[in-house]
Structure 1
Amino acid sequence: MIPVVAIPETEKAVRNTYVPDALKTAVAREFSASKAEPMYSQLTQILASSIRAGILPSYTRLPSEAELSNQLHISPSIIKRSISCLVDEGLVVRVPGVGTRVLGSQFTREKHGARDELHCTLTTPISRISRAERLPVADDIATVLGDGESRETLLITTQLRAGNLTVALMRSYLPIDASIDLDLVAQHGVHRALEFSLLRPVSGTEECRVRASTNDEAAALGIPPGHWVLTLERTMHATNGSVVEIANHAYHPEHFLIRRSLT
């Protein structure tokens, strides 16, 4: 296990207390205890709209919940629940030692991708367990990632778990100098964590297919070696064209299926 994110001391010390006037105006206009809709839900919609409109810009740090409560004149419990809803929607992230930051809506995936074809048949809640390691890789991967000289990569390995059952083994190879927070990976996946680290994946290719499992995939998923698995293979590029991720996922064949719609 390696430390993959270092928070500068200056950033830890600085606190953002600024609440935009436009947000205060929206709360004064739209938030009301007399409405039938729960107050936390009202506030969540107001904050989400402010993020999408750029009133709360991407990558800015939100004031503390206490500061928001003080300036918006709303109960701290309502603020806390609304922020949690924004985390669930992927609009903000909580970063230990830093606070809550806006990811924004421009990075939410609106286009249909190969990952959408894979459907988990389990009703059990799914959790993520992630780890990071630096290791040598094959020449072709190192060259694609632009690390041809070092022949090393940052590998993020994530297991999707349903209780004690591993239902997917997901590997993402990143540039060796990538800084990524494993807490964000566990909450939102590698793409969201890359967006927060400013390695923004904006385009790429991905494909779902069926192939024989490797020995380590079979061991992780609890299936016989060589048994077939559903896979997703993906290569993602940043705005400058550089590759920021090469991914290879293996999904348990008894708990996932490929679901396609005809158009």
Structure 2
Amino acid sequence: MAGPTAEEPVRLDIRLDRRSPVPLYLQLSQGLEAAIAEGRMRPGMRLENEVALAQRLGLSRPTARQGIQELVDKGLVVRRRGVGTQVVHSQVNRPVALTSLWDDLVAGGKSPTTTVLEYRIGRPSAEAAEVLGEEVDGQVLELTRLRSSGGQPLALMTNYLPAPLAPSLEDLQRQGLYACLRDRGIRPVVAHERIGARAVRPEEVALLEEAPGAPLLTLDRASHDDRGRLIEYGRHAYRASHYSFEVTLFDR
């Protein structure tokens, strides 16, 4: 039997446990989110309307509405008048760990691509000198890349590296920065990073396909190797509509 077209709403088999302490609206939301993450619901596909969904799953209409609203709030689906509720994209949920975006996307079964916007080796610019301080003496690689996945731009990434550690332009177009460094026997073992937020800048709107003033998540990271050398400093901006950081906390 042929699958649903982009014009037909998708009838998903969502398992609900009415004995579970997890609210039904949240079980519904989690089931729909899993379908998006697993590719059973692809960008452009439509969900059933809340009335049909509620009747089929034996839910009240407010419960179905609240479950769908959870996905709207996460930026995974959008409601369009005359069209219905459509999947926009699957959000990248990234653990805060000493890994690269490329590595995390590949581990999540995605196929990232890189567009190198700037590749310059020379004396550090004023911005590079400010963030590198006295840790790097001599020439540096100043690198800016656009990272995409599934045809959607995800992040703008600027990195500064000591010139002797600089990967080639070709290698950076083929794989992530950390993978390039590992190929040369260079491995980050400790990093200090700061997570923040800001609005998209005018020159970034077209590159990231965002609306003017849209929020971006930011991450600044200084990585060192096992000898204590600074091997790279990164300033990255991620689309908040497509991206989130995940942290596990432990009680001391």
TM-score, normalising length from structure 2? 0.48
Please state which structure has a larger fraction of its residues in strand: 2
